Amino acid sequence: MTQRVELATVMDRLAVDGLVTEYAVAVDDGDWEAYRRLFTVDGRADYRSAGGIEGDAGQVAGWLEETMRLFPMRQHLIVNRRVRFGLLEQDIGDTARIQADYVNPMRFAGPDGGPSEPDFVCGGRYAFAFLRTGEGWRLREVVVREKWRRTPRVRQQDT
């Protein structure tokens, strides 16, 4: 591998890794327009394992916008990223995949719509698929594979 190819690979790796971060920030900040812009025109997302929907990025962004109102405080922690580049039409590096683990603490909304107790925490693994486009790298698919969740316990009242 030449230095030029190695540098291009590093730059691509940084670009797709940056998209994963932009994805997490868009969801955590509730920036659904930014979320939509991360995807290719035919991009899809699948949140079914976490009790959600599967559909095109626009449909899923609308569902997330409604659902995430229950959780005004949320924070994705995405770690253990494994990046793989692939082929599209025989051009090396036109596709990429990242498998990454996540922990996602969220706080339920209170009566005024702001954060309240208790917290809800879930974790699992993302499968991200990317495509190099004329505008740069974009998400082609996001699949959430929730592995666990911790929901709040109902406290017993002293009688």
DSSP letter string, 64-77: HHHHGGG-SEE--E
What residues form DSSP beta bridges with 74? 106
**Cα–Cα–Cα angle for 125, 130, 10, rounded to 5 degrees:** 95
pTM for the predicted model, two decimal places: 0.88
- Between 54 and 155, the more confident residue is 54
If pLDDT is split at 50, 70 and 90, which confidence band does 140 have? very high
pLDDT score for 159: 47
Q: Report the b/e string of 49-77 with b at 16+ CB within 10 A.
A: ebebeeeebeebbebbeeebeebbebebe
Tokens standing for residue 63: 């569902």
Euclidean distance between CA atoms 38 and 72, whole angstroms: 22
If you average pLDDT over residues 5-10, what whole number do you get? Answer: 81
pLDDT score for 115: 80
Q: What confidence tens digit (pLDDT) does each residue in 61-100 have?
A: 999 999 999 999 999 999 999 999 886 555 556 899 999 9
- Between 33 and 5, the more confident residue is 33
Euclidean distance between CA atoms 112 and 41, whole angstroms: 37
Euclidean distance between CA atoms 145 and 50, whole angstroms: 7
Euclidean distance between CA atoms 4 and 6, whole angstroms: 5
Instruction: Please state which of the ranges 24-28, 41-45, 86-90, 151-155 shows the lowest mean pLDDT.
Output: 86-90
If you average pLDDT over residues 126-151, what whole number do you get? Answer: 96
If you average pLDDT over residues 31-36, what whole number do you get? Answer: 98
Q: What confidence tens digit (pLDDT) does each residue in 97-111 have?
A: 999 999 999 998 888
Architecture of the domain made up of 3-150: Roll (3.10)
